[in-house]
A and B are shown apart, each in its own frame.
Chain A
Amino acid sequence: MIEGAGWKKWLWFYLPMGMFILGLLFPFYWMLVTTLKPDGELYRPWNHPLYSPFWTSAPTFDHIKSLLTETLFGTWMWNTMLIALAATLISLFCGVIAGYALARLRFRWAGLLGTAIFITYLVPQTLLFIPLADIIREYNIGDTPWALILTYPTFLIPFCTWLMMGYFKTIPKELEECARIDGATRWQAMVYIILPIALPGILSAGIFAFTLSWNEFIYALVFLSSPEQKTVPVGVTSELIRGDVFFWGSLMAGALLGSIPVAFVYSFFVEHYVAGMTGSVKG
């Protein structure tokens, strides 16, 4: 599709593309450079003659070391991993069976329930966090991982259900009917015939749900209070800033290391992630 003279291609394609890539990725480079810079270089004002923003002559692992030894960063990573995995599994279980029911079974209220679940998908967390904080306190699960494991599915299940519904609809009904004729029960047909075919869809939903739970902020901020219960996003923003003092080296090290699990999962399943994301809006 690229046509025309060489300079035109540069002007209309490579130049804007390069600008986009630079703009979108620069903050991550900045995180990395800041993590590796010694404090002496970090806190040199921008109009200092020796200020060299994009490079460091003496890379150091001090910030990472202090992050791992002097803060609870490891605990936060573990908490986040546990909560994200548990919430994802619960949501996948609920979403897959609910999606199957809505896509395949004929019953009254099917359309209405589908719409209701779609609407809950559009409810932002910031609309409900205050009454929810009250409820969490009443259930006595405040400041425990359960506060998040039970509430994250509220924004994950609708998405998983919606995605799986779309996926189940693409699988021909005849496959299931064949199995039923051969004597399988409805449940067996679902578990042995349909689920294996739907595996890519389940994987997409799971990966997207995992990254969403890893990124969640306001529920974790409001429902957890003790430092050793916190998740990475909340721990890094609240515990590494003391009063007005920002320890930028450790902060950026925390931001960088805290992003690695998501980036790791993402790098292996880019296609599934993209399928999940685009599926989530297209429905």
Chain B
Amino acid sequence: MLERESALAFWLLVPTLALLTMFIAYPFVRGVWLSLTNSVVGVPGEYIGLKNFVKLWNDSIFRTAALNTFVYTGVTTVFKLALGLWLALLLNRHFRGKAWVRAFILLPFIIPTVLSTLAWKWMFDPTFSVFNWLFWKLSIINARINWLGDPELAMASISAVNIWRGVPFYAISLLAGLQTINQDLHEAAAIDGANRFQRFWYVTWPLLLPVTMVVVLFSVIQTFADFQLVYVLTGGGPANATHLFATYAYQIGIGTGLLSEGAAISLAMFPALLLVVIFQLWYIRRVENR
């Protein structure tokens, strides 16, 4: 009986394992090998040890990209979580048109990212920006703001778009978590004299934490490896100031054709990603075993 079950399991898992081996495990090994060679497009290259990584370590653009990636991930995650939680709490009430609001609010998340980012690029246009018009009308500014032209400001603008895109995902996922919380607990706490804030802090938050952790870790990985927003909004400019790991890897590996160096830049993301994944697996196991 057990024999037959494992035979069936084997056949049911073959297609999945074949595809994942061919297009994830194998490319990963190839990527590690590639990063240890000096190959460029069309030329296989030979083993050069860690030279690519040493070169990156001394590359000021790479350092900027690394710093940008960490700051970008940190800052946007804090905002996405705070705003997403706020929105989830608002959506968790009963009001007319709730289903409609919930459906429309997810649009930034489901519409293809590059397409909505193009709309943002147009809103950030140096000459025709609608934000400039708005602030000018409100007498906040009297000269135009170059949203994507100034390095510091460009990173802030990119972060704003990332937050815009991510908040609905946080809100709807956290809302799903909120809805599993038994209302009786709230009522019991209210009868015991807990105020709104206390009810949130001592009842809602501890029960919501497992869902929150998974959502945050999942979103951290996506944000850390982000490519599309920067590619569309600034292309890494001005003067390579807004690169993330992924966009710099693209520019070097695909744009310039230095495959091995590009692969090394991509792989530089790996240690941080691995830590997040290990933490996530550990956390899930801990919650399950409780």
Contact = CB atoms under 8 A, between A and B. Distances in A.
Tell me whether chain A's interface is mostly helix, strand or loop, or mixed: helix
A111 B267 CA distance: 27
Interface in A224-238: 232-234, 236-237
A39 B105 CA distance: 30
Contacts of B28: 123, 127-128, 131
Contact of A134 (B15, B34, B116, B123): B34
State the main secondary structure of chain B at its contact with A. helix
Interface string B246-279: 1001100110000100110011011001001100
Interface stretch (A56-64, A67-75, A171-179, A263-271): A263-271
B126 to A, nearest CB: 10
Contacts of B15: 93-94, 97-98
A119 B284 CA distance: 13
Given A24-B107, A124-B222, A236-B114, A34 B122 contact: yes
B8 interface: yes
B8 A128 contact: no
Contact of A126 (B90, B94, B266): B266
A263 to B, nearest CB: 7
Interface string B7-38: 01110110111011001101110110010000
Contact of A158 (B20, B123, B249): B20
Contacts of A135: 23, 26-27, 30
B108 interface: yes
Interface string B232-246: 100000000000011
Contacts of B30: 131, 134-135
Contacts of B214: 281-283
Interface core residue of B23, B31, B120, B232 (most chain A CB under 10 Å): B23
B207 interface: no
Interface string A137-180: 00000000000001101100110010000000000000000000
Contacts of A266: 103, 106, 110
